Amino acid sequence: MSNRRVLTGTHFWQGDIACAEGGIAAGCNVYAGYPITPSSEVMEHMARRLPEVDGIFIQMEDEIASAVTIIGASWAGAKAMTATSGPGISLMMEMMETPVVLINVQRGGPSTGLPTLWAQQDVMQARWGSHGDYEVIAIAPNSPQEMFDLTIEAFNLAEMYRVPVIVLSDAIVGHMTEKVVVPPVEDLVNKIRNNADKIIKIEEHDTEDADVIVIAYGITARVVIPAIRKAKSHGVRVGLLRPITIWPFPEKRIVELNKYVGGWVMVELNCKQLYFEVGRLLKGDSKLAFVGHPGGGLPSEEEIYNAIMEVAK
């Protein structure tokens, strides 16, 4: 196989295999399970693949132990999952109140049921399987592609809402073999870049008519205020741009402002980490000064004021 977590490309995968690969791509690093038809292929694939990506696979003595183990792993900070079918869910249910992913490849009938036949008979069990007041999230894939995609989504939902998420598959989808496309990593990167305008948050003060703009974030965005006020009292039009979102960096706004701003001051507590990002965007068209304290302490009002006045010349 491969020691890569995300096997980009086009594959011909069974649904259960796609589910396992979705878990690995989502970052699952602990799998504890007990074999039961029609979910056993998830476990078998995890037994091969998870050690290749430095994950931990454990075959437990029963379904109860499987549930307890992934709960313990989750509480220890791991992304954990297991897979089973209806009878196994019955044994696991009272433990389910921790952000884990539980794959239920459904089969027919009560009790041990019809191990090799399919059904959608665990829907109400997923919602009402335990006592007390609680809410659940359950999602139902209908293809190997969705087995991959929705297993990743299940991990994201579990971490976001801090609850277990149940993937309600069935024996047909679990054993079906179809094309599964795992997108290249560039597509994941572009998801951020293409939505940068929705993600980026900045705070601006007096930037529209500024001759000088101070860029500062975190605590330094508070430290610079007295120096900005002092510079304004001496007739310099100074604005403040505070990146609330550091990455992705607010490149577009800085480029827009640089069309009429003559000078910039970067204030941060390091050795010019964002200073170089800003310099790259300015392209030498305007002045750029740096005020930093990488070894502890905070820059003084005088240091920041002097930098403002220097680029304002």
Task: Kindly report, residue by residue over 205-252, the tens digit of the pLDDT.
Answer: 999 999 999 999 988 999 999 999 999 999 999 999 999 998 889 999
Contacts of 272 (CB under 8 A, 6+ apart): 266, 290, 292
What is the DSSP secondary-structure string of 57-82? EEE-SSHHHHHHHHHHHHHTT--EEE
pTM of the complete model: 0.59
For the chain, residues classed under CATH 3.40.50.970 are 9-191
| Residues ≥6 apart with Cβ < 8 Å to 11 | 18, 21, 179, 180, 181, 182
Name beta bridge partners: 71: none
Q: Where in the chain is the domain with CATH 3.40.50.920?
A: 198-312
When mean pLDDT is compared across 59-68, 109-118, 151-160, the lowest value belongs to 109-118
Strand order in the sheet with 263-268: 202-205, 238-243, 212-216, 263-268, 287-292
User: Does position 119 have pLDDT exceeding 80, yes or no?
Assistant: no
Q: Which CATH architecture fits 198-312?
A: 3-Layer(aba) Sandwich (3.40)
Q: What is the mean pLDDT of residues 122-147?
A: 83
The chain-wide mean pLDDT, for the chain, equals 90
Question: What's the pLDDT score for residue 1?
Answer: 60
Q: Which of 101-110, 152-161, 237-246 has the lowest mean pLDDT?
A: 101-110
What architecture does CATH give domain 9-191? 3-Layer(aba) Sandwich (3.40)
How does residue 12 score in pLDDT terms, banded at 50, 70 and 90?
Answer: very high
Residue 112 pLDDT more than 80?
Answer: no
Using the predicted structure, report yes or no on whether residue 99 has a pLDDT greater than 90: no
